[in-house]
Amino acid sequence: MIPKPGKDLTKAESYRPISLLPTMSKLFEKLLVTKLSPILAERNCIPDHQFGFRRQHSTIEQTHRLVQVIRSAFEQKSYCSALFIDVSQAFDKVWHEGLILKLKLHLPTNIVKLLENYITSRKFVVKEGEFVSLPEYIASGVPQGSILGPLLYLIYTSDMPVGSNIHTSTFADDTACLSTYEGKHVRQFV
């Protein structure tokens, strides 16, 4: 576990768990990501507003999209409201059964079975100095520090609802929702 900067080190939530994967697991994950990425792209599984962990989708480009919405509202003398959401410990809270259901929507059965086994049969130990705990099954989450974890998280959150009059911008577990409206409609939003 890695301590989070500026946090109380006596509390468990002040540490970030990491996955120390064997070399073969890293190679396996890299092969899976190489196989899955084109399938997910072809089936349009990751929403356009999600820029996290995607090639040619930078934070600068995502910021530019947000600024453009705000600028457009300003130029049209409209109001612009924003809601910023950061999901706490998002990667650790991924519900395995829910993720598997979503994988079934997008991927061939053989790949789903492989991923299901890979996700649900993971175990962890805690090492402190010379002490090593007994292995325990990991009940939720995707592995942090892994190659496959970010892609699994994007699949898990891919069906996040978005409104027709709301501009949504997402970068991994950080989401910005912007809504613009004319001044005469302010009362209905208050």
Burial group, residue 190, by CB count within 10 angstroms (0-12, 13-18, 19+): exposed
Q: Model's pTM, two decimal places?
A: 0.80
pLDDT in tens, 104-161: 999 999 999 999 998 999 888 888 789 999 999 999 999 877 889 999 999 999 988 8
- Domains of the chain, by residue range, sit at 22-158+165-181
Length of the chain: 190
Residue with tokens 């540490």: 15
Structure tokens at 17: 């768990």
3-class SS of residue 100: helix
Could you tell me whether strands 174-181 and 79-86 are parallel, antiparallel, or unpaired per DSSP bridges? antiparallel
pLDDT in tens, 52-93: 777 777 778 888 888 999 999 999 988 888 999 998 888 889
Query: What confidence category does residue 187 fall into, taking pLDDT thresholds of 50, 70 and 90?
Result: low
3-class SS of residue 15: strand
